[in-house]
Structure 1
Amino acid sequence: MSVLEQAAAARIAAIDLAGATRAEKDKALLLMADRLVERSDDIVAANAVDIANGRENGIGEAMIDRLTLTTERVAAMADGLRQLAALPDPIGDVVRGSTLANGLELRQVRVPFGVVGMIYEGRPNVTADAAGICLKSGNAALLRGSGSAFSSNAAIVSVLRKAVTDAGLPADTIQLLDATTRDSVKELMRARGLVDVLIPRGGASLIKTVVEQSTVPVIETGVGNCHVYVDSAADLEKALAVTVNSKTQRLSTCNTAESLLVHTEIAERFLPLVLEEFASHGVTVHGDARVAGYSDDVVAATEDDWGTEYLAADISVAVVDSLDDALDHIRRYGTGHTEAIVSESVTATRRFVAGVDAAAVMVNASTRFTDGGEFGFGAEIGISTQKLHARGPMGLPELTSTKYVVTGNGHTR
């Protein structure tokens, strides 16, 4: 079946799904979760094929980590679907309402987009997350994962589609597109009129391609060149904990810190501590000349390092002379994803929060908290760094549009 045929089938499914009750959608989500657990051995076996192919093709270990599914990770995917089932249904929510001077009752209510296309790389857990969040928000999902995860994604989607039909909803609510050729991406990007919105989730080149070439409206998810700024008024214990967790808790995610900025007044006390911690975690530091003075293991940072999303055991580190210098550095090299400050100064944190242009700003907290699950949204579909429609972790409300319902009593204009 071609992408356009799949999109047409998704549009028919979306019509039925738009009228589904919360109980019907939640039943499907819970059944999807149960079936994932029941079939976890099959899913992990399919994933092993992708892992073997990835290693044969020379994929790095950080990307292998993103690709890998275990029984525990499949169970976590199922838990995400159960959390979605427990969340309120956004469809029909009144965003705002009023009675006009002429007596007309005006309500703006949430409605599904209709058909949501997802183009994403690596992580096959995104398949279940995206399918679940689209279903709960009343949208049919067209999923185009990467070729490196095709066996895993096919196994997951097979389980989910069977669960959806057993729950009484259309199977074409969830569809996986062919990932063996790039033609499917091109067709999906050109399916305007059949696909209502397209969400790319992956590296900078993928997102740039989709944004620039798609005729379908795009919600842009962003690259995460995230910074931690340790202010002169930072508590060293907090700064060390936040910095190390931001970088090392999981290397391959978009909310992992890739740059550390340290105020010169605290550098002499803080840098030896954090460099030792990075070394113990196997993290390579790409530092400026002042950072290099604290360790022979520091690699001289290049201009490219400041703007790199490593997704690996590397971090760029610089000493800055002021909060303003830190803000200037972030404005120049940041990607608008997540920025963090560690400081006990209310004045400094307020200036940082006001001065940083990012989807999320952390104050004395790890960048790793920028996540739909951590925010209590349930499984997210991505983290948007654009400024139109959605910004930050995209939960259920962000997967909806609105319509105005105007009720009168024979009113004429």
Structure 2
Amino acid sequence: MSQIIEMSKKLKHASYGLSEASSKDKNEALREVALSLDRNRSHILSQNSNDIKAAEEIGMKESLIDRLMLNDERIDGMIKGILQIVELEDPIWRSNKVWTLENGLIINRMTVPLGVIGIIYESRPNVTVDAFSLAFKSSNCVILRGSSSALNSNIALVKAIKEGLKRSNISEDVIFLIDDADRKLVKEMLTLNEYIDVIIPRGGNDLIRFVIDNATIPTIETGVGNCHIYVDNTGKFDMALKIIENAKVQRPGVCNACESILIHKDIASDFLPLLHKLIGDRVELRGCAETLELIDIMEANEADWFEEYLDYKLAVKIVNNIEEAISHINKYGTKHSEAIITENYSNANLFLRRIDAAAVYVNASTRFTDGSEFGFGGEIGISTQKIHARGPMGLNELVTTKYTILGNGQYRE
């Protein structure tokens, strides 16, 4: 029996016990995990430094190194996220509807854990803590497979998590990290339907396609983020410039960063030079033919409209009207996060209704599509599909439904 099968069996067994754990016990365990992360801070940062050095040696681009990097502020953020989750309502065993049939049967629809969640993710070691904390609070066990680039960081984080669990009343067998970079192990994991209830891939398009193509387990697809900002002809320039700068420059390597902007033709000649002046020395702009007549930048090709750069690059296109902007976004976008900058109420509502995405913004940065920002205490991923969950996946997205039926001898005629 392989190690993954053996550990998956343990997780499945542990999931039954975890579903019976009280909210008090789970919250106390999460507090212990938060304390353990703080106690192990130096070791975690040391191991992360080893990952960063290895990434730099192979020439990993700066924006991806930023995703990989941990520091005191980010560890503080992990701890804060755990403590936020402690304060949230336990999502399981909640009745959301109870009714009585004419024959006297009492039907109760309630929330229950998914069971064992397999999470496959790239680069960002904070996902290790977010995924565990959310899964644990919702009484789910997790099997984690991070990227090889973050292996040392993830091992240190899981060690700290297990140390915290040992100080609680709950078994440390609720979490398992695959610490082998062999992709064959991922393929094996993706077929363990008997033990793993759902797979959540979190990363780039290649990873997500690999999981979807190879998984026999139900999969929740999380998002590649080809996010757009459309500046309408009534949009305030100062607002638009600040939002675009934030959405592109703050953290270009994350999935809610802006990758393309669309500019209404009526304002393009005034707006684009301002944008070029603001970010042109930090961001490689790639524009349509009309854009090239107004500012001196690289020419965009068809591939640029599809691209999730995860880098200091931004595609720019001039459009005739809001209808063209909506059509472009729905064609090239990845159903993640899209924004409009406008003072026109009708256009704002049209954009909100017609854009096919998990999160649609009016006069705000796409960078807010995040479980912590939404008040979820973190996220296990941002789902871009429409079945089961959509958008940032917090506690309430990590449960399913069970019907309990109470009878008194009824049978069907």
Alignment RMSD, CA only?
1.1
What are the residue-to-residue correspondences of 1:171-186 with 2, within 5 Å? 171-186=172-187
**Normalized against structure 2, the TM-score is what?**
0.98
Distance (whole Å) between structure 2 residues aligned to residue 2 and residue 72 of structure 1: 35
Letter in 2 for 1:167: S
What are the residue-to-residue correspondences of 1:300-379 with 2, within 5 Å? 300-379=299-378
Distance (whole Å) between structure 2 residues aligned to residue 388 and residue 118 of structure 1: 18
3-state SS in 2 of match to 1:24? helix
Match of 2:280 in 1: 279
**Deviation at 1:248?**
1.4
Task: Check the 8 A contact 1:178/1:184 in 2, yes or no.
Answer: no
Distance (whole Å) between structure 1 residues aligned to residue 123 and residue 359 of structure 2: 24
**Deviation at 1:362?**
0.5
**Normalized against structure 1, the TM-score is what?**
0.98
Task: Check the 8 A contact 2:63/2:251 in 1, yes or no.
Answer: no
Task: Check the 8 A contact 1:253/1:311 in 2, yes or no.
Answer: yes
What are the residue-to-residue correspondences of 1:106-185 with 2, within 5 Å? 106-185=107-186
**More moved, 122-131 vs 243-252:** 243-252
Match of 2:75 in 1: 74
**Deviation at 1:323?**
0.7
1:83-134 alpha-carbon deviations (Å, 9 max, x no partner): 1111000001123222223332211111001100000000000000001111
Distance (whole Å) between structure 2 residues aligned to residue 103 and residue 70 of structure 1: 59
**More moved, 221-230 vs 260-269:** 260-269
**More moved, 190-199 vs 243-252:** 243-252
Match of 1:263 in 2: 264
Task: Check the 8 A contact 1:83/1:378 in 2, yes or no.
Answer: yes
Task: Check the 8 A contact 1:124/1:149 in 2, yes or no.
Answer: yes
1:25-56 alpha-carbon deviations (Å, 9 max, x no partner): 11111111111011111000001111111111
Distance (whole Å) between structure 1 residues aligned to residue 277 and residue 106 of structure 2: 64
1:342-363 alpha-carbon deviations (Å, 9 max, x no partner): 1111110111111110011011
Structure 1: give runs of 5+ residues left out of the alignment: none
3-state SS in 2 of match to 1:215? coil
Distance (whole Å) between structure 1 residues aligned to residue 71 and residue 294 of structure 2: 40
**Deviation at 1:272?**
1.5
Match of 2:30 in 1: 29
Task: Check the 8 A contact 1:108/1:405 in 2, yes or no.
Answer: yes
Task: Check the 8 A contact 1:263/1:322 in 2, yes or no.
Answer: yes
1:230-282 alpha-carbon deviations (Å, 9 max, x no partner): 111212222122222111121111000000000001112211111211125x0
Task: Check the 8 A contact 1:41/1:71 in 2, yes or no.
Answer: no
Distance (whole Å) between structure 2 residues aligned to residue 96 and residue 198 of structure 1: 28
Task: Check the 8 A contact 1:221/1:384 in 2, yes or no.
Answer: yes
Identical pairs, percent: 45
Match of 2:379 in 1: 380
Letter in 2 for 1:129: D
Establish whether residue 289 from structure 1 lines up as the match of residue 289 from structure 2: yes
3-state SS in 2 of match to 1:365? coil
**Deviation at 1:8?**
0.5
Distance (whole Å) between structure 2 residues aligned to residue 278 and residue 101 of structure 1: 67
3-state SS in 2 of match to 1:402? strand
Letter in 2 for 1:268: S
Distance (whole Å) between structure 1 residues aligned to residue 41 and residue 142 of structure 2: 22
Task: Check the 8 A contact 1:16/1:170 in 2, yes or no.
Answer: no
Distance (whole Å) between structure 2 residues aligned to residue 60 and residue 329 of structure 1: 29
Match of 1:194 in 2: 195
**Deviation at 1:143?**
0.5
Distance (whole Å) between structure 1 residues aligned to residue 184 and residue 63 of structure 2: 27
Distance (whole Å) between structure 2 residues aligned to residue 242 and residue 47 of structure 1: 31
Distance (whole Å) between structure 1 residues aligned to residue 65 and residue 234 of structure 2: 39
Task: Check the 8 A contact 1:146/1:179 in 2, yes or no.
Answer: no
Establish whether residue 406 from structure 1 lines up as the match of residue 405 from structure 2: yes
**More moved, 401-410 vs 372-381:** 401-410
Q: Once superposed, which parts of structure 1, at least 4 consecutive aligned residues long, lie more than 6 Å away?
A: none
**More moved, 214-223 vs 173-182:** 173-182
1:278-325 alpha-carbon deviations (Å, 9 max, x no partner): 125x011011122122222x1110111111000000000000001111
Letter in 2 for 1:288: C
Task: Check the 8 A contact 2:191/2:215 in 1, yes or no.
Answer: yes
Distance (whole Å) between structure 2 residues aligned to residue 341 and residue 54 of structure 1: 36
Aligned length: 411
3-state SS in 1 of match to 2:280? helix
Structure 2: give runs of 5+ residues left out of the alignment: none
Letter in 1 for 2:344: S
Distance (whole Å) between structure 2 residues aligned to residue 241 and residue 343 of structure 1: 14
Letter in 1 for 2:303: D
Establish whether residue 203 from structure 1 lines up as the match of residue 213 from structure 2: no
Distance (whole Å) between structure 1 residues aligned to residue 149 and residue 329 of structure 2: 33
Distance (whole Å) between structure 1 residues aligned to residue 342 and residue 106 of structure 2: 49
